[in-house]
Structure 1
């Protein structure tokens, strides 16, 4: 493809040089540039690609797409000036790959909690029904059966379009993907032809990036505002921000709920330690998922599947076969001491409340709830005392520990979490910085009928300390300790 062909449909401010040259490799990373490539200079959150134009040219770039023309132009290099390269990179990457999303049914899932579970269950439901499916998620990406490790909730637009192209080549009919607020705000999803969008819920998160809750809401809403009229928008009507997402949204509006009237109305019939009996639009089914929050996730999956054309009986049948997503309310039983450990990714106040409420309902007063939780470093510090306050309110014993401290001092993070606790709260709180020791302590304290929640990391198999990722898996620590229990 030539540069001129790549730019069709893109508003160009000015051009210097020959646009009838081949695009070559299209990249925003100057480190990957080689002879004949096209480099696009993007103004990112931390780095401005314009600072690396000279490096890209020295490594062989023959075309540079930018917002600001340099004072000195290099002979033989083509310069394309756009008003906003950040907003254009996804569109250009999509065009380079032949707009792959237009050949598949693509559904995005956004919200504070539940994105991974809903996207992954949709992938599994359609796989089980005999379709070729792609998945883009926090835990892992899939091109039908091929596993592609995930580095971000939503990849950068060039990588994202390359993955969509591979899904198209593999014959995928459907693609389900998480859409993070960062991705919407940074235009990573530009160029994707979405056929549907799902909104789960919205509570405080990522304010280290968005600064205010209003900005966070606006980023989520930006995704819904971009939907085409032929798409569907499915929102949780029990969440007060659900209808906010639909303002100015051109797509067809649908709702799922447990409390309010809805297109996909659910009712909890019975809760069990390892399953939940529910009713959805008159159909009864048994979920191998636990907790009210997972009932909402199941309603979203059922609704999206039927809106994509799956018969409701088939959607219910396959949904009843689905097991929990890795690291999401993942249950580990101690055979010797007869207590239950739950590993969950809950890393926001609302998610902690949801998981702990479920655990308290399962305990029914027959055992204690021991909660092990920390807070991530270099992230929204304002939620730390709130998380501790919510955790201690629904636990008999709280153990504050390290999560992924990243560049911060884990002891300082724990100190900030303690700011949300009263003197009475502290009487049932332990502070153990070493996460492994914190988990082991919880297991040693546990008695028959008790529940331990180890929250915050879920599926993650590392702990990031001072920029270094060290192997660490909450589930491994628990299982290793259970092997030697007396």
Structure 2
């Protein structure tokens, strides 16, 4: 592609017809013939790396600052993130237009819904790509997931490389607000729920809602919105979309009536029916859908149940909001013959206003509460301790996460369930006393130590 073709939507001035080799936002990855987009982030300013990009062979620069006297053409734009999204879509020939693309948004349930749907579609013979919190899967290859939602350039690039029939992606509010999905065209857009989260970023629940709602603006003309309408925000989004003449498929508690005698947790029932609704729209046979729901093996770190000696049980879950706590603990309460012991923590530098509600949900849904650290995200330990002491909490506080989990497991007797929330299958970012990197590893480490001590 030529430079003037790629950047035509971004510039009113005539541009040279230079043959391009690619697009880059990281100066270290620039190759001769690339266009370099200087993005401004929270930490780094891409404009500081323009000279480095030119030295590495960039033939044009796109940025937001008024610059002159560069050795190569410079195109100034108002929003460089939007500009790179537009350019990437053109460079990779709009790959989302030729695939079935499904976006799933909401505070909770995105990951499990996407895994349910992937399994249903693959059982029906469709090849699926997946982009989400746990991993990316493209052409059957599993890749690590640096972000729930990839940046626009890499996403268009991966879509272009994908030979899959269907693309399923979790769409985070950060991903929408930071224009990571700009230019992606969706066949289905799903709304799972909205609970207080990320207000350190969005400010208010209304703003959080409005950002989530932007996903549905990117539906294809025949696209379908699938909405769980139980709750205020679900009804709001359904009404908004119907007013805008979108095709809306509304689902509520009536849709989960068939699970009345099931051991599937209620929140997973919701995820299953949302996935099933899309699968059926894509002409997947009913018996395939039902078989997947019945045999679903779950998602790593999402209501992951571990049965251990002594009739004790552990649940590891990603839940990190008050509503998610309520759902998970209620599901465990139905299974428990004994006590429910809950281990949870808060993340440094994140929304502090949701913490008291999370404590109250834990106290209501469990018998023993153990408050510990989650990712500190650079926050000094003493600062986190000071923040925690301001909360109304009558349970047990153990800062070291691995010690907190070990303590909970030590308290567990026959019939008891230990619920560990907040991290799911994520790696620890901070160092703790036990040589473990995940909650799952900590549980395994504890029971191996218990077994060896009993010999």
1:407-422 maps to which residues of 2 (within 5 A)? 407-421=378-392
- Residue in structure 1 matched with residue 98 of structure 2 by the alignment: 103
- Residue in structure 1 matched with residue 429 of structure 2 by the alignment: 463
Is 1:481 aligned to 2:439, yes or no? no
Instruction: Name the CA shift for 1:410/1:391 in 2 (closer, same or farther; >3 Å).
Output: farther
How much has 1:472 moved relative to structure 2? 1.2
Instruction: Name the CA shift for 1:464/1:38 in 2 (closer, same or farther; >3 Å).
Output: farther
- 1:436 corresponds to which of 402, 409, 415: 402
2: CA distance, partners of 1:359 / 1:265: 18
Is 1:397 aligned to 2:368, yes or no? yes
Q: Residue by residue, what CA displacement relative to the aligned partner does 1:413-444 show, whole Å, maximum 9, x if unpaired? A: 355345442xxx51xx1111111111111111
> Is the 1:345–1:455 Cα contact (8 Å) retained in structure 2?
yes
2: CA distance, partners of 1:221 / 1:417: 33
- Residue in structure 2 matched with residue 235 of structure 1 by the alignment: 227
- Residue in structure 1 matched with residue 211 of structure 2 by the alignment: 219
- Residue in structure 1 matched with residue 353 of structure 2 by the alignment: 382
1: CA distance, partners of 2:184 / 2:427: 31
Is 1:324 aligned to 2:294, yes or no? no
Q: Residue by residue, what CA displacement relative to the aligned partner does 1:172-205 show, whole Å, maximum 9, x if unpaired? A: 1111000000111111101212111000000111
Instruction: Name the CA shift for 1:266/1:3 in 2 (closer, same or farther; >3 Å).
Output: farther
1:157-168 maps to which residues of 2 (within 5 A)? 157-167=152-162
How much has 1:222 moved relative to structure 2? 0.9
> Is the 1:184–1:220 Cα contact (8 Å) retained in structure 2?
yes
> Is the 2:339–2:366 Cα contact (8 Å) retained in structure 1?
yes
> Is the 1:257–1:266 Cα contact (8 Å) retained in structure 2?
no
2: CA distance, partners of 1:227 / 1:404: 35
2: CA distance, partners of 1:356 / 1:105: 36
2: CA distance, partners of 1:173 / 1:314: 18
- Residue in structure 2 matched with residue 7 of structure 1 by the alignment: 7
- Residue in structure 2 matched with residue 270 of structure 1 by the alignment: 261
Is 1:43 aligned to 2:40, yes or no? yes
How much has 1:465 moved relative to structure 2? 5.9
> Is the 2:326–2:361 Cα contact (8 Å) retained in structure 1?
yes
- Residue in structure 1 matched with residue 78 of structure 2 by the alignment: 83
- When the two chains are superposed, the root-mean-square deviation of aligned CA atoms in Å is 2.1
2: CA distance, partners of 1:295 / 1:414: 37
1:257-336 maps to which residues of 2 (within 5 A)? 257-258=252-253, 264=255, 266-271=257-262, 276=263, 290-335=264-309
2: CA distance, partners of 1:54 / 1:220: 37
State the secondary structure of the residue aligned to 2:136.
strand
2: CA distance, partners of 1:256 / 1:480: 42
Instruction: Name the CA shift for 1:369/1:411 in 2 (closer, same or farther; >3 Å).
Output: farther
- 1:347 corresponds to which of 304, 311, 320: 320
Instruction: Name the CA shift for 1:13/1:353 in 2 (closer, same or farther; >3 Å).
Output: farther
Give structure 1 stretches of 5+ with no counterpart.
277-289
1: CA distance, partners of 2:431 / 2:24: 30
2: CA distance, partners of 1:319 / 1:162: 33
1: CA distance, partners of 2:23 / 2:430: 31
State the secondary structure of the residue aligned to 1:164.
helix
How much has 1:409 moved relative to structure 2? 2.9
- Residue in structure 2 matched with residue 117 of structure 1 by the alignment: 112
State the secondary structure of the residue aligned to 1:235.
strand
> Is the 1:384–1:417 Cα contact (8 Å) retained in structure 2?
no
How much has 1:339 moved relative to structure 2? 1.1
Q: Residue by residue, what CA displacement relative to the aligned partner does 1:235-257 show, whole Å, maximum 9, x if unpaired? A: 00113212322415553111111
Is 1:449 aligned to 2:415, yes or no? yes
- Residue in structure 1 matched with residue 187 of structure 2 by the alignment: 195
- 1:472 corresponds to which of 402, 426, 437: 437
How much has 1:103 moved relative to structure 2? 1.4
